[in-house]
Amino acid sequence: MAGNAWFELLDGDGATMGPYFVNEVTVIDVRPSASGAGLVDLTVTLWCENALPGAERPWELVHTGYLNHTGMWHELTPENRHAWLSVALWSREYQRQGKPDAPAGQVFSLDGRHIVDRDTFYCAIGEAINGPGGYFGWNLDALDDCLRGGWGATTPFTLYWDFSAEARTRLAECVPAGDRERVLFDLLLEIFEERGVSVILR
């Protein structure tokens, strides 16, 4: 029993693309490694809450450098879109490569055509702020955190939300907000406004 560990996914040069915290790591086989003298290859079982089914494909895109154009999440199933967001989160530092936040006063464009639920909104806003495979939250609390800085953009900024009428009809679910419920689309606009984002609906 090896206990808990950090499991790091490496690119071809050995740089960490992203880490997962794993539990209950148990070694079930040990062999000398072909990778070098004094190294061993371990076969282990483990448990990882954050490694979601469907994450293999986006990790492969990050690894090969083919996560390089917008809209690659459009055709994913709902489960795989959530996995896409998880990879965007865990690989964000690797993908940004130390790039600083965009300065205050920037203008971003959010394409609402493919926003059909909350996960697709987060896929779209991550892409609008940080480019293909970008992360800018994957729930309301995380979005609010991202708007405080350090995640790709500095407030205040302007967000042009294109095809917003279509997005409004699809983000009509009621979600808890304090001691009441709010329509998700309206709550998103409220969060943006509170954090100094001027949203222009188009």
- Residue 170: count other Cβ atoms within 10 Å of its Cβ: 17
pLDDT in tens, 86-118: 999 999 999 998 899 999 999 999 999 999 999
The distance from CA 88 to its chain's CA centroid, rounded to whole angstroms, is: 3
- pLDDT band, residue 140 (cuts 50/70/90): very high
Determine contact, residues 197/158, Cβ cutoff 8 Å. yes
User: What's the pTM value of the predicted model, to 2 decimals?
Assistant: 0.91
Which amino acid type is present at position 178? Answer: G
Name the 3-class secondary structure at 96: helix
Secondary structure E strands in the chain:
3-10, 16-32, 40-47, 107-111, 157-162, 174-177, 180-183, 197-201
Q: Rg (Cα) of the chain, in Å, rounded?
A: 19
More confident residue, 97 or 142: 142
Q: How far apart are the first and last CA of the chain?
A: 57
CA–CA separation, 144 and 195 (whole Å): 8
